[in-house]
Amino acid sequence: MLKLKILFMLFFAFGTALFAQKLTINGKIDKELKVDSFLFRYATNFVDQENLYGKGEEVRVKVKHGRFQIDLDNLPATFYAFIRLPKNYSKDISDDYRLIGNSGNFFMLKADNPMEMQLYQHGVSFSGGQKSSLDCQLELFRLKKKLSDRLISLKNSFGSFDEKTTEKQINDYLSAYKSINLNACLEAKKLVTSYAQLLDTMTANTHYYDFIGRTKWDEINHINWLVDFSPDSVRSYVARYYNKYYTDELSYGDPKRYRGTSNEYPKFLAYKAFTDLMQTMAPLGRRIKPNVALADLLISERYHGALYDQVAFSSLLIRGTKEYLDDMYLTSLMGNMKNEDFRQYVSDLRKKRTTRAKSFQFKLEDENGKMVTNADLKGKVVLLDFWFTGCRGCLALHKNMKPIKEHFKNNPNFKYVSISIDKKRENWLNSLQKGEYTDKFDVKLWTGGQNDKHPIIRYYEIGSYPTMILISKNDDVVAMNPPNPYTEKNKNALIKMISEALEE
């Protein structure tokens, strides 16, 4: 137990100097692929690993005469990274090119262990001290691609589901879907076992549980999608099947054999706890969702020690960017966690979100090119709404906010501030003209094309959209992610929260 705890602390250390190691990655890319540069993004802590697409460190790598070199420092002993190669539409290109560069697959890498990578038109090869680990991961990526193809074929064979779909059809589909995923997990176990003599136990365990985490996340995410976007009869069939065959099933890896170093497995366990609760509530109504505090109660019943810390922390990072977190939940979480780094993160988050931290001092452009700052909104209660063109949740929030805006339309001390993170100014302006995300009297601002790299996004650690932030008359943060008014209860809660801020 002590050894496991030490390994856990090493892996999830938040970039302390003790683990500031280096890594050099040398590579060769076939000139026929016509790659002159690519993006390399990596995470040095568990927080960034949870959303490596939007967080972490990013490096633009130049390719000269078909060769490149990446020099990284200040690394923990183990970390995750992904490569974003330019899209290549050639029919002659191998799947490996897409698996490495265009599928969002993350490699687990080790610092202080130089590696080389050769990318050809018809394949990829690795050399150096991490060859066996990288080969194993690439084979798992290939297996995941085969799994995806099998699932697409299954879906095509059943067609779309509508009001005429019977419960037997749904049960047959989900049984086949579940079986295909289970067989892939068994194949992954066999594959990783074949590398047993080439990998240390911890590395092999991590690769296997990363695959389990990714695969089972996708599996239950598909079920959630069916429940959210199917006709009422279909969603009831799906929820019934899930509650019968998924809630207590153990086909997602044995937690007792997990060694505590996977990026994906704790994330899946957190998502499954949320899904178990959500599908239990599904018969009560489409829009009833459990909050992160309720999910944490279930997580605390299922897992203990270091595993509880990982799963509960993953749950916070997944759901906490989308929900209002009250002080009671954050205080309870700090009391339950043993990992000091996680506790410190929660403590800092609590100070920022629940104890009236000063709001970010911004200077953003409006639709007329005028720069707007906090000083222009002095003395007003401000509700910030962060969104981007194409965000379905942002469209829904705009619709749901109309009763709130109507309620406060005659109060000059309330301002609704719309902040777009669109990369292109013309996309933002086109969306403003259509009025799908904003209303006439909103203050409409833009982050200048910096997208999720803008300091205001980094300051508030916004990881999903839409995100709302309520600011007081004194320019303090009242609440991150106040209630989204998609239900009558939430609408009344948001009105109350804004009204109390106006009365201060």
Cβ neighbour number for residue 30 with a 10 Å cutoff: 17
Residue 262 CB neighbours (<10 A): 24
Q: How many domains, in total, are found in the chain? A: 3
Domain assignment present for residue 258? The answer is yes
Q: Which segments of 274-331 are extended strands (E)?
A: none
**394 membership: H or E segment, kind and range:** helix 392-407
Clarify whether residues 102 and 14 are in a common domain.
Answer: yes
Asked whether residue 386 falls in the same domain as residue 418, the answer is: yes
User: 453 and 479 share a domain?
Assistant: yes
**For residue 458, what is the domain's CATH number?**
3.40.30.10
Q: Which amino acid is at 285?
A: G
Identity of the amino acid at 497 = M
The pLDDT tens digits for 289-324 are: 788 999 999 999 999 999 999 999 999 988 877 788
**pLDDT digit string (tens) for 227-272?**
888 898 998 999 999 999 998 765 567 888 898 889 899 999 999 9
**Chain mean pLDDT for the chain:** 89
User: Which backbone phi and psi does 124 adopt, to 5 degrees?
Assistant: -140, 150
Q: Which domain holds residue 87?
A: 2-129
**What pLDDT, in 10s, does the model give residues 460-493?**
888 789 999 999 999 999 988 898 898 888 899 9
Q: Do 370 and 453 lie in a common domain?
A: yes
Is the same domain home to 163 and 283? yes
Q: How far apart are CA 170 and CA 44, in angstroms?
A: 43
Same domain, 125 and 146: no
Closest CA to 134 of 219, 59, 199: 199
Per-residue CA distances from 153 to 146, 157, 159, 175, 418 (Å): 11, 6, 10, 15, 42
Question: Is 356 part of a structural domain of the chain?
Answer: no
- Per-residue pLDDT, 247: 82
- CA distance readout (Å), 432 to 332, 419, 428, 429, 450: 42, 11, 6, 5, 18
- Say if residue 150 is in the same domain as residue 247: yes
Question: Is 314 a domain residue?
Answer: no
Last residue of a domain, one of 268, 290, 312: 290
The two three-digit tokens of residue 5, written as one number: 């705890």
Confidence of residue 153 (pLDDT cuts 50, 70, 90): very high
Q: Are 162 and 83 contained in the same domain?
A: no
DSSP assignment of 442-477? SEEEE-TT-GGGSHHHHHHT--SSSEEEEE-TTSBE
SS3 483: coil
In this prediction, residue 425 carries a pLDDT of: 94
Do the domain assignments include residue 326? no
